[in-house]
Structure 1
Amino acid sequence: MNIRPGFHSAVRAIFSALLGASALASVAAAETVEPLAVASFDFRDTSGEVANQMAEHEARLTAFMLTVREKLAENRKITLTSLACEHEQCTARKLGIAELSKQAKSAGASHLLIGEVHKMSTLVGWVKYALLDLNSNKPTCDRFLTYRGDTDEAWQRAARFVARDVERSCIP
C-alpha cells in the first residue's frame, strides 16, 4: 500500500476540523435562546373568608408576576417578549389561550407561560401553570403547585419556585 507523505497530517487536520465544527454546533445548541411570553396569571379565591382582601390579593398577584418575570429574565437562555395586551387584563381566562398564543407568536415568542393562583383557604393556595410550545400547540410542561399561607412571603416563595421550575424542567 502506497500512502503519500502528509496523508496522515491531512487526515488529522480534517478530523480536527470536524471535531471543532461539532464542538461549535454543541455550544451553539447549548446557547439557544428561547423567546418566551409570560401572560399574567389569573386569580381565584374560593376560601369563603368574610373579609374583603381583594386589594391585598391584587398586590400579591402583581408582585408574584413581577418576581416570575424578573427571575426568568435573569436566565441567559430565555428572552422575554412582551404581549400586546400586557397593560390590560392579559390572562388566559380573560382573553383565551388562542388570543394569547396569537399575540405571543406576533411578538416572536416560541413559548407562552400561562397560569392561575387559587386561594383555597387561609392556609392553602395553589398555582396551576403551563408552558405552551407555540409551534406544536402543545404544552411542554403542565404543573400544579401547592403552597402554605396567604402572606406576601408565601406568594413570593411560590413565584420563585414557578420561575425555577420553568427554567429547569419546562424550557426545552
Structure 2
Amino acid sequence: MRYLLPALWLSLASPAWADGLVIAPVKLLDTSHEARDQQAEHLHRQDLLAQVLAEEMPGTLLTRDEVAEACPRETTDCLVTLLRDRGGDRGLFIVVQKASTLILQAFASEVDLKGGKLIAHKELNFRGDNDESWRRAGVFLARQLRD
C-alpha cells in the first residue's frame, strides 16, 4: 500500500510539458550505402524510437498510415495542421540519419503548432544500429527535450 500512494500521485501529476504533445512518425535518411536490404529493420527501429518517445514524454503517436492518408506529400503545412487537428498544442518531428552501421544521428524539433514557432531542437549522435541503441537514444532524447 505504501508504494501505491506515490504511484497514484505520479499518475495525477501532469507536467506542463506532457500536455498536448503529438509525435509524428520518425523519418530515416539512410546514407550508409550498405548492400543488404534493411527496410523492415529500419521501419521497426523507427517505430521503436517513436514508441519510446511517446512513453517517455508522454505524447500521442501518429502512425505512418495516418500521415500518408492525410498528407501524402508530407508538406510542412499539412503535417502541422494534421498534428494540430489531432489535439496537439506541440508537435515533435524526428529524423534519423544513418551514416553507417555504427554512426547515427537524430534530429528532433519540437514545434508550437498554434504559433508555428520552434520550441526546441536537439541533435543526438548514437552508435549501433540495433534495437537497444535506438531504445537508449529515445530515452536520452526524451530526457533532453523534457529538460
* TM-score bracket for this pair, using the shorter chain length: 0.7 to 0.9
Count of residues in Structure 1 that have an aligned counterpart in Structure 2: 131
Unaligned runs of 5+ in 2: 1-13
SS in 2 for 1:116: strand
Aligned partners of 1:128, 1:52: CA distance in 2, in Å? 24
Counterpart code for 1:141: A
Q: Where does residue 163 of structure 1 map in the other structure?
A: 142
Q: Where does residue 42 of structure 1 map in the other structure?
A: 27
Counterpart code for 2:79: L
Q: Where does residue 8 of structure 2 map in the other structure?
A: none
- Residue identity over aligned pairs, in percent, reads 28
RMSD: 2.3
Q: Deviations over 1:60-84 (max 9, x none)?
A: 11111111111112xxxxxx3465x
Aligned partners of 2:139, 2:64: CA distance in 1, in Å? 22
Q: For 1:73-112, what aligned pairs fall within 5 Å after superposition?
A: 73=58, 80-81=59-60, 83=62, 86-88=63-65, 90=67, 94-112=73-91
Q: Where does residue 52 of structure 1 map in the other structure?
A: 37
Unaligned runs of 5+ in 1: 1-29, 74-79
Q: Where does residue 121 of structure 2 map in the other structure?
A: 142
Q: TM-score, normalised by structure 1?
A: 0.68
Aligned partners of 2:46, 2:144: CA distance in 1, in Å? 18
Q: Which runs of 4+ in 1 moved over 6 A?
A: none
**Structure-2 change in CA distance of 1:163 and 1:43 (3 Å):** same
Q: CA deviation at 1:166?
A: 1.7
SS in 2 for 1:132: strand
1:123 aligns with 2:102: yes
Larger Rg: 1
SS in 2 for 1:158: helix
**Structure-2 change in CA distance of 1:120 and 1:134 (3 Å):** same
1:67 aligns with 2:67: no
Q: TM-score, normalised by structure 2?
A: 0.78
